[in-house]
Structure 1
Amino acid sequence: MRVIYFGTPEFSRIILEKIYDHLNIIGIVTQPDKPKGRGKKILPSPVKQFAINKGITVYQPEKLKGNIEFFNIIKDLKPDALIVASYGKIIPEDILNIPPYGGINVHASILPKYRGAAPIERALMNCEKETGVSIMKMEKGLDTGPVYAIKKNSYTS
């Protein structure tokens, strides 16, 4: 299966590492490099660093919505599916509709409770005793598609 992977932080790199040997990753989309740390040095995201180490082409568009050039790149790659894990931007519907199998999102929470950004932080702030990861179909709305699977983890203090 030909997959384009969208992700940026360490959580996303871990997911990418787990699926790398099982899928044909034909491209990686990650946020543009940003200043980090005390020295504000421009550093690649963990996902970009993984891609570089594996020789996978990296795309870092500033914006997705209305970006015809990026749309055409994705279309020309002919992916079977998109896999998204903590990318940091909403994937427009026209891009989600390119691959025949659409987009799959790896979401760092037990859906539907913590939809949207920062689900791990919100679960911690609410002192949840159980967290998890959800696998869901991507639709136009933010974290609104059907959930295929949930893996829960319980914690005791």
Structure 2
Amino acid sequence: INLASILKAAPFFIDLHEHDAALTSTEELPALLSAALLQTAAHSASWKELQRVAGRNFAQATSLCNTIPLNVLEKRVILNRQKTLDKLDQFIAELQDLRQVLAEEDGQGISDYLNDADHARRSWIRAREQSDWGGEELRPAERIKSPGILTNLLGFRRKKPGEDK
């Protein structure tokens, strides 16, 4: 906390479950979706042709499946199986919403959907670059009042002002 104060930064704390959910959403899920996209194309009857026409977007979208070593990704999703399943369910629901929007005849829905996604991404990138998380007030963490290692090991402690020597 002192280092954060010196750097004029705000400490940010999340508990273990929040951390796992955040990693599942931002690391494991994108890697799994990348793998699923690649598997969808690779299992297509026209995979031979798709390989020839696949371009930069496909390469970038599928590159995420190897950003985390496969054995590490496998362990993470197994250890956080329920969180991973929950996030996959949320993504499947979003894909179903997207499908419904696309099925609408007027085309305005898909335009709105894509514009909303573009706006959300730009807002996130801007906030990340500026470390501005929507005006969110981050409270400085309270100082932990616990004995230090020397107190625990050797019984040493700092004398309070006015205490006898």
Q: Same fold (TM over 0.5)?
A: no
> Could you say which structure has the higher helix fraction?
2
TM-score, normalised relative to structure 1: 0.29
TM-score, normalised relative to structure 2: 0.28
> Could you say which structure has the higher strand fraction?
1
Between structure 1 and structure 2, the one with the greater Rg is: 2
